[in-house]
Homo-oligomer: A and B are copies of this chain.
Amino acid sequence: TSSDVLLLQMGWGDLGAFGEPSKETPNLDQMAAEGMLFLDFYTANPLCSPSRAALLTGRLPVRNGFYTTNGHARNAYTPQDIVGGIPDSELLLPELLKKAGYVNKIIGKWHLGHRPQFHPLKHGFDEWFGSPNCHFGPYDNRERPNIPVYRDWEMIGRYYEDFKIDLKTGEANLTQLYLQEALDFISKQQASQKPFFLYWAIDATHAPVYASKQFLGTSQRGLYGDAVREIDDSVGKILNHLQQLGISKDTFVFFTSDNGAALISAPTQGGSNGPFLCGKQTTFEGGMREPAIAWWPGHIPAGGVSHQLSNVMDLFSTSLSLAGLQPPSDRQIDGIDLLPVMLQGKLIDRPIFYYRGNELMAVRAGLYKAHYWTWSNSQEEHSKGIDFCPGQSVSGVTTHTQEEHTYLPLLFHLGRDPGEKFPLSFASEEYQRAVENISGLVQQHKATLVPGQPQLNVCDQAVMNWSPPGCEKLGKCLKAPESDPKKCSWPH
């Protein structure tokens, strides 16, 4: 059975099937109607790089190294000047699938490090079309180079130069390129009868948001909605292609997101987290609960809905299971195999851990969520207009100082209060029962935790994408400045 994982930045509330009021995602809604909707599905981190590392390793960022110790509970990722990346010691999903004869491709944003040793083709992928970093820019190629776009081992151009993104109109045809890559790859694998793993990691809904000309201005929701519509259309075409080729029954497809909608970019460049609190960068539900749809016609019953507490790391374990492989036994794997959930409707009892950098901020068990630390961002950042919770303010919850609640965690019942607005009374029996249970889970988790070497501590201008492999052929090599490694600055 082949696997497609479709990953992007989108909020829980961005899909019609999840209650977006414009209801402009007919293909994703159809995917949900034909497959299974996961309503309690989480990412591993309220930020992109660590979540992607978690998906591909099946391990929490605190284990696989995708976090920082430069500050307490700081969100860190892989900007151009990051020195670290995915350690060789980590076993990635495509590395493992390769042993079962899979051909693996990544299309889109890698985000697990851009120095030579972190190249996706060194970590199990056979093909790559896309970029190592976000499509921020344009840059002047002096202080900072524009981000390269790779085909396999070599760069074939740079964003804003060879791959246009018009920041004024929001026009860029990248999603169409990514779509065509996906369709071609699927056709090729079908023709060669080889099982495949396609990681379609597109980024049109990540600021700066873009859409192709044919989608610009087509949404009620503005440019962000245009991007969502184009992605929705693309997902429809991918699923249709699988059906046309007659391999839909042999291909497991999962759609989800690496973090909640970035409300900081709202309203024109930011999505919706529906009824949930805050967004990207926070460990409130809006930052980490994700839209999620599993599709596998003939296997997963149509129209299913699951309340399984689940997360991106489960896609690691589930994909291995589909390939008939065992997860590595020499390390802690945080994912679980979701096949019993999808095929037999089982519910597996397991907690969800909400990490921000090096800190376990919150834990969910059943419908209860205990916050051990609360923080949106600093007063200083907030006063500059950086707001991860625009229009939302819950006293003592969306705090602008890091507040520790270790001895009396803030407890919410996410069934009655999905928006995390009404903490349960410390004095109630319900509180005591729930916190006792969660405390046990935390103790167990911490007792066995072996944190990985933090990869996101050191930044250096010299490691930016000055001269990626292949730059000579294109005359696009740039001169790197002197190496000057520093502690990266992570303000929130």
Residues of A within 8 A of B (CB): 13, 16-23, 37, 39-40, 219-222, 224-225, 266-268, 272, 274-275, 277, 305, 307, 367, 390-394, 397, 413-422
Contacts and interface: CB of A to CB of B under 8 A. Distances in A.
A424 B472 CA distance: 48
A254 to B, nearest CB: 19
Main secondary structure of the interface of A (DSSP, over half): loop
Nearest to A22: B415
A322 to B, nearest CB: 26
What 10 pairs across the A-B complex have the smallest Cβ distances?
A19-B19, A220-B415, A391-B421, A222-B416, A267-B417, A267-B416, A391-B394, A267-B422, A393-B393, A21-B418
Chain copies in the assembled complex: 2
A123 B28 CA distance: 48
A233 to B, nearest CB: 17
Contacts of A22: 39, 307, 415, 418
Contact of A21 (B23, B275, B393): B275
Contacts of A421: 266-267, 390-391
A272 B272 contact: no
A48 B107 CA distance: 53
28 contacts: A13-B19, A13-B274, A13-B275, A17-B19, A18-B19, A19-B19, A21-B40, A21-B274, A21-B418, A22-B39, A22-B418, A23-B39, A220-B367, A220-B415, A220-B416, A225-B416, A266-B417, A266-B422, A267-B417, A267-B422, A272-B419, A274-B274, A390-B422, A391-B397, A391-B420, A391-B421, A392-B392, A393-B393
A388 to B, nearest CB: 13
A18 B274 CA distance: 10
Given A392-B391, A392-B393, A272 B418 contact: yes
Contacts of A307: 22, 220
A283 B114 CA distance: 51
A170 B275 CA distance: 25
Contacts of A418: 21-22, 272
B268 A416 contact: yes
Contacts of A13: 19, 274-275
Contact of A19 (B268, B275, B416, B419): B275
Contacts of A40: 21
Contact of A391 (B18, B20, B266, B419): B419
A39 B221 CA distance: 14
A44 to B, nearest CB: 20
A17 B32 CA distance: 12
A40 to B, nearest CB: 8
A219 B219 CA distance: 35
Contacts of A18: 19
Given A272-B418, A390-B421, A422-B390, A20 B21 contact: no
A408 to B, nearest CB: 20
Contacts of A19: 13, 17-20, 274-275
Nearest to A389: B391
B275 A219 contact: no
Nearest to A422: B267
Counting chain B CB atoms within 10 Å of each CB, which of A22, A272, A367, A393 scores highest?
Answer: A22
A216 to B, nearest CB: 14
A38 to B, nearest CB: 11
B219 A415 contact: yes
Nearest to A289: B21
Given A22-B39, A266-B421, A391-B421, A416 B224 contact: yes
A225 B391 contact: no
Contact of A275 (B225, B268, B275, B397): B275
A267 B220 contact: no
Contacts of A220: 307, 367, 415-416
A27 to B, nearest CB: 14
A352 to B, nearest CB: 14
Counting chain B CB atoms within 10 Å of each CB, which of A21, A274, A394, A397 scores highest?
Answer: A21
Contacts of A224: 416
A417 B265 CA distance: 12
Given A272-B418, A392-B391, A413 B266 contact: no
A84 to B, nearest CB: 36
